[in-house]
Amino acid sequence: MLAVSSIPLFLQCPRAFYFKQTRPAPKTKTRKKQKPGKYAPQKTIVPVTASRMLESEWLGMRGQCKFIKEKGISYPAIFRKSARFKPTPEDILKLSLYSMLLDNCSEGRVANPSTGAILHVKITDSMRTGATTALEGAKNVLVSDFPPPARKGSYCSKCSFRQLCKSIPNAKILDDTEEWIIPESGSNDEPGAGTLPLYLQEQGAKIGISTNRFVVTKDGNTIGSVPLADVSQIVIYGNIQISSQALRKAFNRNIQILFFSSRGSFSGIAKGLSTYNSKLKPAQFHAIENPKAVEHISKRLVESKVANCRTFLMRNSSASEEAKSMKRIIEKIKISNDTSSLRGYEGSAARLYFSSLGTLLKSKAVNNGFGFSGRSRRPPRDPVNALLSFGYSLLSKEFTVALESIGLDPMHGFLHASRSRRPALALDLMEPFRPLISDSIAIGVLNKGVFSKHDFTIGENGCYLTSEARKRYIKHYERRLNTKINYNNTTTLSYRNAIRKSVQDIRAYLLGTQPEFQPLKVK
């Protein structure tokens, strides 16, 4: 795990950070202890009310955080002796990282222990996004076997690694014409952008481990390999074996293995030991028994889902009457006060939505023989429904992984009833994302002519994509997850990270660190 205190050095100079993390510290001259006298340290005026080690396996980060208590509330604090009247970039970075370890707390403090001055700092989503970018960048640097480029600056003359740095041939030096700052949410280096799921569909294949790479073989021949550092999860379809060595490596790196049937149904998950939070799961189960919490979460989810369905129709068709009816349903949802009526409104909106979804298919899709007369599932009866079902299955996988990683139980939800073999909370949270990801992909690939009738197998047991068709769909699915959007007018995120933020927001609401839960709603 990386220490919070080490991340500022990464932004100051990636190479110095790399050396400090991977090599023993050079010997330096020890300073003489200062004798008490005229220049002895002044007595601390600002009291530290608590100091606690914070740790998150999901983030791969830990740090010793000090707290200042004001009006009964403890705030994470940075202590430094400085005459500045505003927080430094390093202060903001550390407070943002501590905020992530504290379930996205919204405020922190910067205190001068000598003068007693305390600066109040509001921690925004863009600050946390920038801090996450820095954290992911630091992790990626440590994966390499070669030191990263150095960043030249005034601190080079004081760096304990300067001799080692100069000894590296053909070393690239980054210019230091600007003061380093925390990357904002508009940065291209979005957190999580460096890792992707590894999808396996070759029936009879085996996945093992060789040094720091996952290796896929079949009949003794190597099909392919990928570095561990590039993999976020492993997705297995059908009859594919995975070795115990590969499982252990995956568990050590918090890489989860997802199992699907050969037809694409999500069937199970294998993971290492869960992140422990003594307050989170009790808070989740307490909220499930609290009618007000259930009503609040369910109402926000249904409202966001219907609004996003309406937006998707208005952007892609002329279904004006259906859009007006859905708008009236949204107004009724806002004043509803029980979950049974919410489910009724959701059902009415779904009938309007799916009755108009077929109008989004353009002439190219229609000429290829594709049409849509209504939703059918378990099993899907036609190609459009097969695409929708496969997309929903992948989406439920994303939310299940995110919930498991953060310490929530995906099997117990608020809107969907809890049943065996059904991740109810994952299904809850994915509702607003259905039209934006799965439905959008299904309509888009058919209108572009990506699929033909030969890409589907149709029989008494339903309609399903072939193995080759799934590969093509997954490419479009991953591309869609990397598409960036404006998340509720707060920050810019890819859909992949919007999923993570939705999970983080429900966690913060359950723990009481966030007064309301607001899912993704697009306009």
CATH for 280-511, options being 2.40.50.100, 1.20.120.920, 3.30.70.20, 1.25.40.10: 1.20.120.920
> What's phi and psi for 362, nearest 5 deg?
-90, 180
Contact 209/249 with Cβ under 8 angstroms? yes
Strand ranges (DSSP E) for 203-348?
206-210, 213-218, 221-227, 231-237, 241-242, 256-260, 266-270
CA-based diameter of the chain, in Å?
A: 91
pLDDT of residue 170: 41
Contact 284/510 with Cβ under 8 angstroms? yes
The DSSP output letter for 437 is I
Predicted confidence pLDDT, tens digits, the chain (523 residues): 788 888 888 888 888 888 888 776 555 555 555 555 544 455 555 566 678 888 887 777 888 888 888 887 888 888 876 645 677 888 888 999 998 888 778 888 888 777 777 888 888 877 888 888 888 888 877 766 567 777 777 677 778 777 777 666 544 444 333 333 333 333 334 444 456 788 888 888 899 888 778 888 888 888 888 888 788 888 888 888 888 888 888 888 878 888 888 777 787 888 877 655 667 888 888 888 888 888 898 889 989 998 888 888 888 776 677 778 888 888 888 888 877 788 888 888 888 888 888 888 888 888 888 888 888 777 888 888 889 998 998 898 889 888 887 788 888 888 877 776 678 899 999 999 999 999 899 988 888 888 888 888 888 788 888 888 888 888 888 888 888 888 888 878 888 888 888 888 888 888 888 888 888 888 7
72 φψ region: left (φ > 0), alpha (ψ -120 to 50), beta (else): left
Q: Buried b vs exposed e over 344-362: b needs ≥16 C-beta within 10 Å? A: ebbebbeebbbebbbebbe
pLDDT of residue 29: 55
- The DSSP H or E segment spanning 485 is strand 484-487
In whole angstroms, give the CA distance from residue 319 to residue 355. 10
pLDDT of residue 174: 43
Statement: 196-270 belongs to CATH 3.100.10.20: yes
In whole angstroms, give the CA distance from residue 93 to residue 70. 22
Length of the chain: 523
pLDDT of residue 190: 43
In whole angstroms, give the CA distance from residue 343 to residue 339. 6
> What's phi and psi for 171, nearest 5 deg?
-80, 130
Contact 387/446 with Cβ under 8 angstroms? yes
Dihedral angle sign, alpha carbons of residues 313, 391, 436, 343: positive
Please give the structure tokens belonging to residue 283. Answer: 């808070």
Q: Which CATH architecture fits 2-24+42-174?
A: Alpha-Beta Complex (3.90)
List the domain boundaries for the chain.
2-24+42-174, 196-270, 280-511
In whole angstroms, give the CA distance from residue 257 to residue 246. 10
